[in-house]
Amino acid sequence: MFSDHPDAYVEFLGARYRGKAGIKRLYKGRFQATFVNGRNGPVYGWLLDHIMMQDIVDVDATGTHAWCRMRALMQAGTHQSIEEYYPGGHRQWWEGGLYENEYIKENGVWKLFRYRYFPFWHANFESGWSHTKKNYVPWPTVTYPEDPLGPDEIFEQKMLWPDTRVVPFHYPHPVTGKPTAPDALRAPVYGADVSTSDPPLTLALPEGQSRPGASSRESKPGDKVLPELVQNKAE
């Protein structure tokens, strides 16, 4: 499903898993091994449903690069009947997140290219989202190969509830044609000046990557993708 392009990556919890080797480490080494004991498929009594919705897809003029912004609403956990033998015991939680993904067409087939998932909130099923402890999911702290299942890089882009910063949009405002102002993406404490809050999140590329089709011009009505985020130049 993922591109063979060397710039492909998955961005998750303030870390990047780069190239197919890094992506495999996350999905097969971490998720598959942890949740289903290495099986490539479901196991009895383990629920992990992702409802994908509010998707906005934009394809560039070349027809080879696309963006998608969409929300995920997740129900996850185990049935009580397996708690005696399942390593994680009995647990259940809710999760909401947002994707700002990029896709490229390889040999006529659309593939995942830059996959960015921002888990927005988690909630214990019994006590609800307003009682969720901060940093509900531990941030990665060690990279590969020191951690055999770790990311290739860790960077300062961490967001978990109760942090409510807005994930940047790949497109300008559909009526005005203007990008969302950086300060409008931030989330200051109630009554505080925005300058006191954490900096806005970004869709910036990792070091060493570039966008050959990017432009510094201002966006305008009708633009489907912000000029600075365009990947390929149309002929």
Measured distance CA(128)–CA(93) in Å, rounded: 9
Q: What is the pLDDT along the chain (235 residues), one digit of tens a residue?
A: 999 999 999 999 999 999 999 999 999 999 999 899 999 999 999 999 999 999 999 999 889 999 999 999 999 999 999 999 999 888 899 999 999 999 999 999 999 999 999 998 999 888 888 998 888 888 899 999 999 999 999 998 888 999 999 999 999 999 999 999 999 999 999 999 999 999 999 999 999 999 998 999 999 999 999 999 999 866 4
From the list 201, 162, 157, the residue with the least C-alpha distance to 12 is 157
Q: If you classify domain 9-171 with CATH, what class do you get? A: alpha beta
* 92 Cβ contact list (under 8 Å, min separation 6): 47, 75, 76, 77, 78, 124, 125
DSSP helix, strand, coil percent of the chain (3-state; round to 5)? 15, 30, 55
The domains of the chain are located at: 9-171
Find out whether 107 and 113 touch, Cβ atoms under 8 Å.
no
- d(CA 75, CA 14) in angstroms, rounded, equals 22
For the entire predicted model, the pTM comes to 0.92
d(CA 19, CA 2): 9
205 within 8 A of 192, measured Cβ to Cβ: no
Rounded Cα–Cα distance for residues 167 and 152 (Å): 22
DSSP 20: H
Q: State which amino acid sits at residue 185.
A: L
Residue 80 is classified by DSSP as: G
